[in-house]
């Protein structure tokens, strides 16, 4: 009788072990799948880069696809309804010690002439929406302002020679100087400066 009981017990153990192993594998697989799902929904780590918004603020990436958060809504301002004095007052808060003169406006960009000396003079482009300067440069007349760009003659470091500036000899005899200028354009959409491939010799004082 005892021998028969032992045999039955052994058979039960042999049958039970595979069942326990199979159940364990099922439970383990369920846990792994659930953990991966939670990580996909909540455990995404986005890069720390930021995007600048039109109003000057910054937003970061978020969500399962790491997309940039939407920029704050901004009201479109018709800056042309303001007078030259009002526009200059908005910008001159940043430059209390400089002589500033209104040259024009394109969209939300205020174009400012800086200083009192002869050409080349200071050129500032100020973003009225973001309340910040986007360009500070030197320019000589004329200044061409369009809806998308500001073009002007920009002093270069190129050496003046008789070949590239024949009039420099005459100007030097008159006590004047000369410099080579390049024609450039500042794109108001991308806020980048581009050389347009033209040069000229300009008399200086």
Q: For the ranges 13-17, 85-89, 134-138, which has the lowest average pLDDT?
A: 13-17
Domain that holds residue 98: 79-204
End-to-end CA distance of the chain: 125
Residue 20 resides in a domain: no
Owner of token pair 């990580």 = 39
Q: For the ranges 40-54, 102-116, 162-176, which has the lowest average pLDDT?
A: 40-54
Residue 131 resides in a domain: yes
Size (the chain), residues:
205
110 burial type by CB count under 10 A (0-12 exposed, 13-18 middle, 19+ buried): buried
**8 A C-beta contact, residue 110 and residue 123:** no
Is the pTM higher than 0.85?
no
Extract the runs of DSSP E, i.e. beta strands, from 4-74.
50-52, 58-62, 67-68
Residue 148 resides in a domain: yes
The count of structural domains within the chain is 1
């Amino acid at each position: 009788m005892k021998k028969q009981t032992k045999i039955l017990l052994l058979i039960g153990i042999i049958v039970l072990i595979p069942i326990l192993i199979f159940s364990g594998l099922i439970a383990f697989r369920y846990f792994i799948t659930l953990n991966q799902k939670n990580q996909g929904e909540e455990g995404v780590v986005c890069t720390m880069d930021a995007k600048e918004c039109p109003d000057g603020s910054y937003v970061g990436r978020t969500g399962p696809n790491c997309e940039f958060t939407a920029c704050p809504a901004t009201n479109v301002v018709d800056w042309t309804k303001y007078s030259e004095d009002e526009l200059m007052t908005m910008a001159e808060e940043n430059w209390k010690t400089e002589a500033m003169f209104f040259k024009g406006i394109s969209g939300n960009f205020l174009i400012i002439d800086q200083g009192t000396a002869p050409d080349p003079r200071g050129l500032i482009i100020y973003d009225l929406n973001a309340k910040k300067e986007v360009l500070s440069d030197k320019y000589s007349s004329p200044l061409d302002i369009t809806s998308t760009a500001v073009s002007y003659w920009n002093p270069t470091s190129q050496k003046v020679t008789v070949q590239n500036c024949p009039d420099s000899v005459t100007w030097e005899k008159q006590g004047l100087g000369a410099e080579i200028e390049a024609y450039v354009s500042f794109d108001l959409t991308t806020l980048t400066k581009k050389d347009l491939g033209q040069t000229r010799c300009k008399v200086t004082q």
